[in-house]
Amino acid sequence: MSRVVGAAVLGVSLLAWLSAVASAQASRTVQDGVFSDAQAARGQAVYGQQCATCHGAKLEGAQAPPLVADGFLGRWQDQPLSSLFNKIQNTMPADRQGTLTRQQSADLVAHILKTGGFRASAAELSPDDAALSRITWPTGLVAAAAAPTTGRVFPPLGNMAQLMRGIFFPNSNLIFTVQTRDPGAKPEPAAGGGQTGGFSFVEWGAGIYGGWELIDNAAIALADASPLMLTPGIRCENGRLAPVTDPDWIKFTEQMIAVARKTYQASQTRNQELVSEATGDLSDACAACHQAYRETRRGGRAPDPTDPSNKANRCMPR
């Protein structure tokens, strides 16, 4: 074999080996030993000081949800390990959010994994977000729970417009506000001190729950309320039955759920820029459904929502 051919063969072999290594790294799961025992021990010490009061001494749950067993695994098994890390890093402890270092957060994840029965190795879990994003959970950890059946069906009280105005409109606008206002910033007092003039449910809610929690809750409200758009028997403002079995209507509903979930994940990072970027997808999801089932543009302008004549064709695909 010539040196040129031998070098070529060696190069191909090296490339194949590097590809195999990259593939193995990309497909790692928490069962592959992604943390060390020493790291888990450090995490246990941090947990006892910062987390046990709310989550229980054995992670069994108390004031806050458990961090072991099916209830926990079912919450996280469809997301990369970076999602759990970011939840801890950005929103915990609940009364001192963002005070943990990245290393402490990684150590806590190691403690949670060890307590959950996942094996350790010699390597420590890196606090690097890119590395954490490449670690997933093995499939089939928790079987999908069957939807509970109560035997009762509640007919909708309101119409589609009222559902939009009561849930989707205010919660979407809370999220859109992140484009110009950092939810983590302290509200500015009115001139002369005291509270700002007039009542604002945004400021009232922020005073109780905190700015970012408002955004979390708004995204959750959109995701969990979206299936109400598929409620049999719900009507539009003009009295026409909403086309809940129309494939496009179902598609737009599913898009809203997906976008709202993505927005919630962005909110969990406590990063104003990421949430601002997510508002574009949220706006597009709303507009796609509106253009198909609500909007009738005239002369290139959106219709006047207060004009009753614009309501006649709502809930009819165009």
pLDDT tens per residue, range 137-164: 998 888 755 555 666 778 889 999 899 9
pLDDT at 185: 82
pLDDT tens per residue, range 268-291: 999 999 999 999 999 999 999 988
pLDDT at 187: 66
Three-class SS of residue 67? coil
Domain 160-185+201-311: give its CATH code.
1.20.120
Average pLDDT over residues 85-93: 93
| Contact between residue 87 and residue 95 where contact means Cβ atoms under 8 Å apart | no
pLDDT tens per residue, range 44-84: 999 999 999 999 999 999 889 999 999 899 889 989 999 99
pLDDT over 90 (residue 192): no
What band does 113 get if pLDDT is binned at 50, 70 and 90? Answer: very high
What band does 202 get if pLDDT is binned at 50, 70 and 90? Answer: low
More confident residue, 8 or 113: 113
d(CA 279, CA 302): 20
| Contact between residue 236 and residue 312 where contact means Cβ atoms under 8 Å apart | no
pLDDT over 70 (residue 4): no
pLDDT at 21: 45
| Contact between residue 259 and residue 281 where contact means Cβ atoms under 8 Å apart | yes
pLDDT over 60 (residue 196): no
pLDDT at 218: 93
pLDDT at 235: 92
pLDDT over 60 (residue 9): no
Residues 6+ apart with CB under 8 A from 102: 89, 127
More confident residue, 45 or 318: 45
State the maximum Cα–Cα separation within the chain, in Å, rounded to a whole number: 88
Half-sphere exposure of 31 (CA within 13 A, CB side): 7
| Contact between residue 244 and residue 229 where contact means Cβ atoms under 8 Å apart | yes
Average pLDDT over residues 86-106: 92
With residue 192 as reference, give the H or E element that holds it.
Answer: none
pLDDT at 140: 85
A 10 A CB-CB count for 172 gives: 23
Domain 28-133: give its CATH code.
1.10.760.10
pLDDT at 24: 45
Average pLDDT, the chain: 83
pLDDT over 60 (residue 204): no
pTM score, whole prediction: 0.78
Domain boundaries, the chain: 28-133, 160-185+201-311
pLDDT at 83: 92
Amino acid at 242: A
pLDDT over 90 (residue 172): yes
Name the range with the highest mean pLDDT among 113-122, 143-152, 200-209. 113-122
pLDDT tens per residue, range 118-136: 999 999 999 999 999 999 9
Eight-class DSSP state of 154: P
| Contact between residue 129 and residue 83 where contact means Cβ atoms under 8 Å apart | no
CA dist list (Å): 312 to 247, 297, 308: 22, 14, 7
pLDDT at 124: 97
Tokens of 238: 């003009």
Nearest Cα to Cα of residue 256 among 234, 231, 224: 224
3-state secondary structure 114-146: HHCCCCCECCCCCCCHHHHHCCECCCCCCCCCC
pLDDT at 26: 56
